[in-house]
Amino acid sequence: MVYRAGLIAGLLLGMLLLGCRSQSEEIAVWSVLEGQLTVAAEVDPTPDYRGFEVLVYRLTEGLPDTLGLAITDSTGRFVMHIRASRPGIYPLRISRRGTVLATGSLVVAPGDSAQLRAVFPLQNRRLLVRSRENAAWLAYQNAIALHNQDLLRGLQAELDSQATAQVLERTLTLLHSVETTYPGTLGAQWAAAEAVRLLAGWAPTQALVRFDSLPPTNPRYTEVVHVLRRELARREGQAASVRWLEAIKARMPTRALRTSLQAELVLAYMDSLQDEAARAALEEVARMAPDSAWQAWVTRVRYELDHLRPGMEAPFFVVTTLDGRTLTLDGLRGSYVLLEFFWPEDPVYLNELAYRNALAVAYRKLPLNVLALSLEPDTLVNEAFYERFPQTGQAAILPQGRQDPLVQRYGITALPARWLIGPDGRLIGRFEGPGALVQLQQALARLQPFPPS
């Protein structure tokens, strides 16, 4: 019971949301962000708006790496030149005098210059970046946010299959609109992949038809392969899913893509608890890509096979929550534990937060304890997040961020990631990447003998 589409996709084309690249990569994308930041007259009547810091960054080994930085002049105007290794969606942060004022995301793509204007305080208004690429990304985010709201209402009202089908149809219509309105953009590519992913669990035949038109260059291609493969295994058996996966791998045009599909084969065997077959397939990944980032992936999966399989003892943890409580794995025995790893500025996490909170409330009588661990060590960034986005459950900050030993012990490679742990302290499953909350809800429903409250 492990759902982890992000485990491979992040290596194939980089983690678009967190912008990973190696030191040796050449800069491939240049972009410009310009605009004006001011302060409302009733807050500060002095027309001097210098000192706003506008930062666009990515994560490298768990640490922010600046892609672009600009500081406003006295009129509040700024111009930022951004350089990145590839197109992607990168975190955007605005601060002044050491205080984080707003966070958001910025699409960086060739030939796409963006504008940003804002008056502070924002008073819960979102940052609005104007450009074709960013408009497409916003349209995609809005479609997913509406879908999650529908799922939330469905969770509360226990919708029947016909009502659920109507929710899916509405979402597919919105995603198609993103594709047709903004063709060629990153938002359109995410929308195309999301449509296939949503269909996989409801109309798998339609999903396979749509998948055939999805190009392997789509940044979520291997995530979609992962979802379809799991659905095929559920419906037709593991052997059928492996045959389908091998056929897809054989037609991939590059070694990198073939390697990513071989890695998916490893996950297929792991999902069906065929660990010896998984180890053999893993050695083939190591052979196919001897001098690449895949070697680090191979090392992590070997660790998982040895330490993080369903039924194994969960790695011990002790954390101090935001309200000063000390929580340990042993102290939470007797209840189910959802251990959540997240990044506060991740738009995927923000889009699904309301649905995630609803799950935490609905299954609290299981009993379920939710412990959210922020991988952002900066206290100011976390304060800005918690002020705007309340979480249900306990929360803590990992002071070493992505380098924290707990991240290593739980094998976290993609965000958001969640481990479900049983009352006996043993691992039940991992759920990571976009869309994993639906699989988490299904797992919780199987554990709860009564309707969620």
Q: Considering Cα of 273, then 246, then 412, then 408, what sign does the dihedral take?
A: positive
Task: Give the integer Cα–Cα distance in Å for 409 and 424.
Answer: 19
User: Which of 288, 307, 326 is the C-terminal boundary of a domain?
Assistant: 307
Task: Give the integer Cα–Cα distance in Å for 415 and 17.
Answer: 9
Model pLDDT, residue 48: 95
Task: Give the integer Cα–Cα distance in Å for 69 and 67.
Answer: 7
Task: Give the integer Cα–Cα distance in Å for 194 and 144.
Answer: 9
Residues 143 and 286 in one domain: yes
In a domain, 11, yes or no: no
Confidence band of 165 (pLDDT split at 50, 70, 90): confident
In a domain, 220, yes or no: yes
Count of structural domains within the chain: 3
User: Which of 307, 332, 355 is the C-terminal boundary of a domain?
Assistant: 307
Hey, which of 83-92, 104-113, 313-322, 442-451 has the most confident mean pLDDT? Answer: 313-322
Nearest to 336 by CA among 315, 363, 373, 308: 363
Instruction: Give 366-425 pLDDT, tens digit per residue.
Output: 999 999 999 999 888 899 899 889 999 999 999 999 889 999 999 998 889 999 999 999
Strands 368-374 and 394-397, bridge-based pairing? parallel
Determine if the peptide bond prior to 121 is cis (ω within 30°): yes
Nearest-Å Rg of the Cα atoms of the chain is 22
CB atoms within 10 A of CB 336: 20
Model pLDDT, residue 442: 87
Does position 347 have pLDDT exceeding 90, yes or no?
no
Position with higher pLDDT, 126 vs 242? 242
In a domain, 3, yes or no: no
| Domain region containing 409 | 318-447
CA distances from 8 to 18, 80, 87, 107, 294 (A): 15, 32, 18, 22, 9
Residues 291 and 435 in one domain: no
Residues 365 and 279 in one domain: no
User: Which of 307, 328, 350 is the C-terminal boundary of a domain?
Assistant: 307
Q: Which two tokens stand for residue 378?
A: 């900066």
Instruction: Give 188-211 pLDDT, tens digit per residue.
Output: 999 999 999 999 988 889 999 999
Task: Give the integer Cα–Cα distance in Å for 404 and 298.
Answer: 20
Position with higher pLDDT, 228 vs 1? 228
Total-model pTM: 0.81
Confidence band of 159 (pLDDT split at 50, 70, 90): low
Judging by beta carbons within 10 Å of its beta carbon (0-12, 13-18, 19+), is residue 256 exposed, middle or buried? Answer: middle
- Across 111-254, where does the E strand assignment appear? 114-120, 129-130
Residues 43 and 169 in one domain: no
Residues 296 and 329 in one domain: no
User: From the DSSP assignment, how many helices (H) and strands (E) are in the chain?
Assistant: 14, 16
Model pLDDT, residue 13: 37
In a domain, 15, yes or no: no
Residues 262 and 140 in one domain: yes
Q: What are the φ/ψ torsions at residue 334 (nearest 5 degrees)? A: 100, -10
CATH number at residue 143: 1.25.40
In a domain, 4, yes or no: no
Q: Which amino acid makes up residue 127? A: L
Q: Considering Cα of 187, then 61, then 83, then 119, what sign does the dihedral take?
A: positive
Q: Average per-residue pLDDT in the chain?
A: 89
Model pLDDT, residue 259: 95
Residues 250 and 358 in one domain: no
In a domain, 9, yes or no: no
CATH number at residue 97: 2.60.40.1120
Model pLDDT, residue 8: 55
Q: Which residues pair with 4 in a beta bridge?
A: 432
CA distances from 5 to 104, 132, 202, 227, 407 (A): 24, 28, 18, 7, 18
Confidence band of 279 (pLDDT split at 50, 70, 90): very high
Instruction: Give 49-107 pLDDT, tens digit per residue.
Output: 999 999 999 877 656 789 999 999 999 999 999 999 889 999 999 999 989 999 889 99
Does position 283 have pLDDT exceeding 90, yes or no?
yes
Contacts of 118 (CB under 8 A, 6+ apart): 35, 37, 38, 94, 102, 127, 128
Residues 398 and 363 in one domain: yes
In a domain, 35, yes or no: yes
Q: Let me know how long the chain is.
A: 453
Residues 256 and 384 in one domain: no
Residues 413 and 335 in one domain: yes
Task: Give the integer Cα–Cα distance in Å for 292 and 272.
Answer: 27
Give the whole-number percent of the chain exceeding pLDDT 90: 70
In a domain, 10, yes or no: no
Residues 199 and 271 in one domain: yes
Residues 364 and 299 in one domain: no
CATH number at residue 381: 3.40.30.10
Per DSSP, the three-state class of 257 is: helix
